[in-house]
Amino acid sequence: MVRLQLNFLGLILSIIALTSCEFKDVKLEKVQDFEVNSLQGGKLDATINLVLSNPNSFPITVKSGEFELFSGKKSLGDAQLKKAFKINANSTEVYPVQLTGNMGDLISAGLTGLTSLLSGKKPEVLVKGELKVGNFFFHKKVPIEITTELPMSF
């Protein structure tokens, strides 16, 4: 009987602990760097270094991500997260994110960026999409929409 009461008490305490936890959004602070590893036949393999803030007291795993990249109003293509990664608790850190994607419209949209490069400006890119994040108990879709200068290395 005592064991049953302890199990019931443990269950109640677990429910209270889980419902009192608030899952705060992970925030994309900025894009620090974008490195194109390869671009062959319209297929992109790239690393984007993101500065991400996790205000939660527990680590978050970014499980998947879908993004569309724009230069001005023209689509550069889409990209997907290649590999899941963990964001440390209560931190703001740089995370290298591996992306793969289809850049079918890169040439037509790239003329805008090329003009910017020739005039001495870094091209601006809009990254729009969502990250699917979570931990053992919580899961959430975090919308991402940020316009950033694109520091590039080839």
pLDDT digits (tens, 9 = 90+) for 80-126: 888 888 999 999 999 888 878 776 655 555 555 555 545 666 667 78
DSSP 82: -
Q: What residue ranges define each of the domains in the chain, with the CATH number in brackets?
A: 23-153 (2.60.40.10)
pTM, whole model, 2 decimals?
A: 0.64
Question: Rounded CA gap, 51 and 31, in Å?
Answer: 6
Query: How would you classify the pairing of strands 85-87 and 60-71?
Result: antiparallel
- Say whether pLDDT at 154 is over 50: no
DSSP three-state, residue 56: coil
Question: Rounded CA gap, 111 and 109, in Å?
Answer: 5
Instruction: Give the model confidence (pLDDT) of 35-47 as tens digits.
Output: 778 777 777 787 8
Question: Rounded CA gap, 90 and 58, in Å?
Answer: 7
